[in-house]
Amino acid sequence: MSAVPTSPLQATYHRLRGRFGDLSLLGLTLAAALACLVLVGAIVWKIVALAGPSFDRFGLGFVTARVWDPVKHVFGALPFIYGTAVSSLVALVIATPVAIAIGLYLSELAPRGVRGIVGSLVELLAAIPSVVLGLWGILVLGPFLAHHVEPWLHSTVGFIPLFGDPQQTGQGLFTAAVILTIMIVPIVASISRELFLGVPSDLEEGALALGATRWEMVRGVILPATRSGIAAAVILGLGRAVGEAIAVTQVIGGGTRIGWSLFPPADTLASKIASSYQGAGSGIETSSLLNLAAILLVLGLIANLIAQVIVRRFDPLRGAR
Amino acid sequence: MSRYRRRRLVNRAMEVLATVAALVAVGVLAVVVISVARRGAGAVSWGFFTKPQALFGQPGGGIANALVGTALLVLLATAMALPVGVLSAIYLTEFARRSVAVPIQVVIDVLAGLPTIVIGIFVYALLVVGHTQSGYAGAFALAVIMLPLIARATQEVLLLVPDTLREASLALGVRRWRTVIGVILPSSVGGILTGTVLAVARAAGETAPLLFTSSIFANTVQTDVTKALPNIPVLIFTYSEQPDPALHQQAWAAALVLMAFVLLASLAAKALLARSRRKLAR
């Protein structure tokens, strides 16, 4: 510190001031960290508490009940669980291979100059606000899918019940799944790129030196070495897809139908909550919406914790964010 | 076909597929940006920024009220999230033992992964039920989303500060708190700033947290945070749900403004981050 203490009194003053400073910084920062814990606790507690009346009334049957009728005060979550599961799974099935391929391109194939540019462009895709993506989805992508892609799928692979009669508006599960795909590809791609870059180059060069082609090296060395990390990335992507509310609300159309075809309108847990924002009528309806939020919260917590356990246990990189 | 040729063909095919995947991602970005720009540019004029929303059903109008509201909301949210985020990151990197730091870290990462609509409905239940929608409720919801982003960015840059710097300061007899404030924070301020800009860009485009907390608003410029503040994301959302093409035009233009802001802010932040990292790594 600046001044050299000259008297015992001054030395005591300096020591106390230093100790006070240390303690107050520790206290402040500890309080901030605790605030984060309290916040998460409060979120869980508040949502579970307000879902209570609905849970008391409908019990666990809420999850399997198919009717959502505000007029008769009967509420069930099954149509929304179905919509969430189908849209997220379809998105995941399309997004995972594409994202891994992009990660491989960025880490192994792209020439030096291109790498940075394409990498940042892919990350920019993740930065587009979901409401903007949803606006594009409802006015551009939806009509395009309805008039070109859905009829084509129906006529070529229509024997699979997933591809039923095309829709007129383009609002439906399929459009929502495509929008979700666009949202999760950049997330999974940038995590996998980091994972692939973290594979020791000795291993890669070893495989190449043994005469493996680049693809054989990827299949034999890179993918096995990063398998758990990729799983974590995919689960994080799934968590994102399950929780996305706005863009999905804009393109999914709304409805409680449950069926094989991907094309008709539906609702997800998140989109049902979002589309009811203009004020639910009765207390039991609000509580049932919070019940949906509670299911969403549990799904989000599970996805996150699994992903974190995988990342922390198996992945020495901690590169996955 | 010889085995070798088949292996080479498979390899080539996979390389082409990976390249195509990357091109598709870039292509989708280009298609979205271009179609928003093409449809929105026509309606963007000086008046679009200076006039508030037109009354329902009337032509014209702009987004002045939503611009002011979004700016206020994000400013307030930053004021709430920045101190808590930075301080908790300091606790985690400078003070906490591993056994304490890891659980807190897990909780912060969980917060970052929570669906934003859940955060919105939490704040609705906490601050709106029994009262009315308000700017501070909306800002609080945005702050909950920004908090883990800022905390994580700060932590990452604090971890980059070389231990030798800490040890040198402590060896000179400098107290812990002065080391943190005088040595560690100044060398990581660039990273904290860029992390904050990224969080601001994210918050400015978030709709779900505002739906329940600041969505039913007047179409005049509004600076009273105890009332619902108009904002761009909710404006785009409500316009996009209407059948009226004139409103769609307004939504495209507002989307163009929002997207331009978010993309430019993210680009700038990433460039700055790369620079401050290089500086610290030296």
- pLDDT tens-place string over residues B194-209: 899 999 999 999 998 9
Q: Is the pLDDT of residue B182 over 60?
A: yes
| Residue B114 main-chain phi, psi, to 5 deg | -65, 140
Reference B22, options A181, A180, A112, A99; nearest CA is A99
- Which of B133, B207, B278 best probes binding to A when mutated, by most A CB atoms within 10 angstroms? B207
- Which of A104, A235, A277 best probes binding to B when mutated, by most B CB atoms within 10 angstroms? A277
- Whether A100 contacts A230, CB under 8 Å: yes
A37: nearest CB among B28, B107, B212: B107
Q: Give chain A positions within 8 Å (CB) of B35.
A: 136, 140
- Whether A141 contacts A229, CB under 8 Å: no
* B29 interfaces chain A, CB cutoff of 8 Å: yes
Please indicate, yes or no, if residue A202 is contained in any of the structural domains.
yes
Q: What ipTM was predicted for this assembly?
A: 0.89
Q: For a pLDDT cut of 90, what percent of chain A falls above it?
A: 25
Please indicate, yes or no, if residue B1 is contained in any of the structural domains.
no
Q: Which residues pair with A74 in a beta bridge?
A: A69
Pairing of strands A74-75, A68-69: antiparallel
Domain carrying residue B195:
46-281
Please indicate, yes or no, if residue B12 is contained in any of the structural domains.
no
Please indicate, yes or no, if residue A33 is contained in any of the structural domains.
no
Give residue-wise pLDDT tens across range A198-256. Answer: 888 888 889 989 988 889 999 889 999 888 889 989 998 999 899 898 889 888 887 77
Give the single-character DSSP code of A262: S
Q: Is the pLDDT of residue B89 over 50?
A: yes
Could you give the CA distance from residue A267 to residue A254 in angstroms, rounded to a whole number?
Answer: 5
Domain carrying residue A285:
60-314
Please indicate, yes or no, if residue B20 is contained in any of the structural domains.
no
Say yes or no for a CB contact (<8 Å) between B104 and A133: no
B121: nearest CB among A110, A273, A304: A273
The pLDDT assigned to B280 comes to 66
H or E element: which one contains A232?
A: helix A223-243
Give residue-wise pLDDT tens across range A164-211. Answer: 777 777 788 889 999 999 999 999 999 999 899 988 888 888 998 998
A127: nearest CB among B176, B208, B262: B262
Half-sphere CA count of A202, side-chain side, radius 13 A: 1
Mean pLDDT to the nearest integer, B9-34: 92
A105: nearest CB among B18, B204, B205: B18
Please indicate, yes or no, if residue A262 is contained in any of the structural domains.
yes
Please indicate, yes or no, if residue B78 is contained in any of the structural domains.
yes
Please indicate, yes or no, if residue B7 is contained in any of the structural domains.
no
Instruction: Count up the domains in chain B and report the number.
Output: 1
Please indicate, yes or no, if residue A249 is contained in any of the structural domains.
yes
The pLDDT assigned to A281 comes to 61
- Whether B84 contacts B110, CB under 8 Å: no
Could you give the CA distance from residue A125 to residue B10 in angstroms, rounded to a whole number?
Answer: 30
CATH number, position B112: 1.10.3720.10
Please indicate, yes or no, if residue A53 is contained in any of the structural domains.
no
Please indicate, yes or no, if residue B202 is contained in any of the structural domains.
yes
Please report, for residues A118, A223, B27, B89, the alpha-carbon distance to residue A111 in angstroms, rounded to integers and kept in the order given.
10, 21, 19, 37
Instruction: Count up the domains in chain A and report the number.
Output: 1
Please report, for residues A32, A38, A244, A307, B50, the alpha-carbon distance to residue B108 in angstroms, rounded to integers and kept in the order given.
12, 11, 19, 14, 40
Say yes or no for a CB contact (<8 Å) between B205 and A218: no
DSSP codes of every residue in A157-174: HTTSTTS-SPPSS--SHH
Please indicate, yes or no, if residue A154 is contained in any of the structural domains.
yes
Please indicate, yes or no, if residue B41 is contained in any of the structural domains.
no
Q: For a pLDDT cut of 70, what percent of chain A falls above it?
A: 93
Give the single-character DSSP code of B226: T
Could you give the CA distance from residue B153 to residue B89 in angstroms, rounded to a whole number?
Answer: 9
Please indicate, yes or no, if residue B116 is contained in any of the structural domains.
yes
Give the global pTM. Answer: 0.89
Rg (CA), chain A: 26
Please indicate, yes or no, if residue A80 is contained in any of the structural domains.
yes
CATH number, position A93: 1.10.3720.10
Could you give the CA distance from residue B119 to residue B98 in angstroms, rounded to a whole number?
Answer: 29
- Whether A220 contacts A171, CB under 8 Å: no
Please indicate, yes or no, if residue A284 is contained in any of the structural domains.
yes
The pLDDT assigned to A313 comes to 67
